[in-house]
Amino acid sequence: MGTDSILPADDLRLFHTGEHPCGYWPERSARDLVLDPRDPRLPAFYPNALGWGFRRSGDIVYRPHCLHCRACVAVRIPVQDFRPDRSQRRCAARNMQVESRIVAAERTPEHLALYQRYLSARHPQGGMDDHGASEFDQFLIGSWSQGRFLELREHGRLLAVAVTDVVPEALSAVYTFYEPELEARSLGTLAVLRQLEWARRESRRHLYLGYWIDGHLKMDYKRRFRPLQAFDGKHWRNLQDGQAFLSGPGRDY
């Protein structure tokens, strides 16, 4: 898989899911490669799996493995090398009064209400807008979460929550939800900037951002965090302007 593991992985089982609707391109179908969710070693393997291009959703550790598409590219930011661009500096300045607080990954009524407002505005009739408390816990926390919630507040008001996994050498941005009426504040970008500050304070090497898709508007913001490294199925490489080979349909895992 391209990253040395400190754990014996010879008998680690992988499964292909069946085809399901793609969450990024509605006209396409998708399938995933999933690490055995019943393996009791999964929490211990998880930090290595991030280095193999996987990510977590609830208790499931997966990466896209579609038959005719390789558009999803795992990306991460090398924390010590990151320098904000002009737009990111403006975002940070515009939100100077927003306070960050790292709390346990535990649902509160305030978190759930914000999450439901966000889904109703951002994903109407998308299959997630009816999520309640159980779906929140299943999707964002899971039973063996290694995560924390990064809260963003202004004068006490909860503006955003960045669900963030914490592993020995990295942070992983699992999911961020924010007040939809404040979209112009670029709270998603602010959350990544605050996660980078957190990672730098704790001398963590990388911030994993999940998947980037070339040409997808909702994913474009990830490309603006520089330098950005992309996983080509074997190695992590710096993603350069105009580079398209990583997301082409012929990319080989």
- Its CATH class, for the domain covering 79-201, is alpha beta
pTM of the model: 0.90
- CB within 8 A of 34, min separation 6: which ones? 14, 15, 16, 17, 60, 61, 62
CA distances to 65, 78, 193, 195, 204 from 201, rounded to whole Å, are 35, 14, 12, 10, 8
pLDDT in tens, 219-235: 989 999 999 999 999 99
Q: What percent of the chain has pLDDT over 90?
A: 81
Query: With DSSP H G I counted as helix, E B as strand and the rest as coil, what are the percentages for the chain, rounded to 5?
Result: 30, 30, 40
pLDDT in tens, 115-148: 999 999 986 655 566 789 999 999 999 999 889 9
CA distances to 78, 79, 95, 225 from 90, rounded to whole Å, are 21, 20, 9, 14
Q: Where are the domains of the chain?
A: 79-201
Which strand (E) or helix (H) includes residue 253? none
CA distances to 32, 33, 44, 157 from 98, rounded to whole Å, are 37, 38, 34, 9
| 131 vs 49: which has the higher pLDDT | 49
pLDDT in tens, 23-45: 888 889 999 999 999 999 999 99
